[in-house]
Amino acid sequence: MTERRTQRARDPQARRSALAVASMEVIAEAGVGRTTHRAVAARAGLPLGATTYYFPTLDDLIAAGLRHAADQLRTDLDEWAQRLADAPDMPAELTTLTEEYLADRQQVRIEYELCVAAARDAALRPIAETWMDGLPDILAPSVGAAAARDICALLDGIILRALVTETDLDATGLTAAIRRLIP
């Protein structure tokens, strides 16, 4: 019992973060309307009291999860932007980034679940739009707005197909397709 209290006092930020991550996972799977303190606590592997201690209301807990997801998406987009800017071969680097993204299929499923949930729940749309607008914004200066939009549509389709069919990415084919879309 003393160990648990010591851990809580020592690393409250880790618990907040774990609850925010768990909140997004539950939201992605069940939707905002079916997200509860109990479900988030169970997903995080923390006692129910931890959720209400750090996030007194369900709205606070959901907001923390949404902030965490938006921050993570911005961080990921910043990394993609840097790597693409430094790449001698943008289509090949974009393919590599897509392969790396698909390596964590569980996380990709959660993010796609979140996009589907955003179609039903306006509160989730800003997170989905961060990704849907962010990558085209990164690509547009190099390839133009129309090609950036088309490349992103291609990536969305390729990623969704890989998820549904549980297949690996055809890196050579994807790189060639991206090259065909660049004017």
Predicted pLDDT of residue 2: 43
Segment 139-156 mean pLDDT: 96
Amino acid at 54: Y
Predicted pLDDT of residue 67: 82
How many percent of the chain have pLDDT more than 70? 95
pLDDT band at 128 (very low <50, low <70, confident <90, very high): confident
pLDDT band at 10 (very low <50, low <70, confident <90, very high): low
- Residue 144 region by backbone torsions, left for phi larger than 0, else alpha for psi between -120 and 50, else beta: left
pLDDT at 3 over 60: no
State how far the alpha carbon of 162 is from the alpha carbons of 3, 6, 31, 48, in Å.
Answer: 44, 44, 24, 36
- Please write the tens of the pLDDT for every residue from 69-78: 878 888 989 9
Residue range(s) defining the domain that contains residue 51: 2-181
- Please write the tens of the pLDDT for every residue from 28-62: 888 788 899 999 999 999 999 999 999 999 988 98
- Please write the tens of the pLDDT for every residue from 56-65: 999 889 888 8
Q: d(Cα 22, Cα 43) in Å, to the nearest integer?
A: 6
pLDDT at 8 over 60: no
pLDDT at 84 over 70: yes
The domain tally of the chain equals: 1
Q: Which two tokens stand for residue 37?
A: 């303190």
Give the CATH number of the domain where residue 54 resides.
Answer: 1.10.357.10
Q: d(Cα 77, Cα 111) in Å, to the nearest integer?
A: 14
Alpha-carbon torsion (142, 144, 149, 153), positive or negative: negative
Return the number of other C-beta atoms located less than 10 Å from residue 157's C-beta: 11
Q: What is the mean pLDDT of the chain?
A: 88
pLDDT at 20 over 50: yes
pTM attached to this predicted model: 0.78
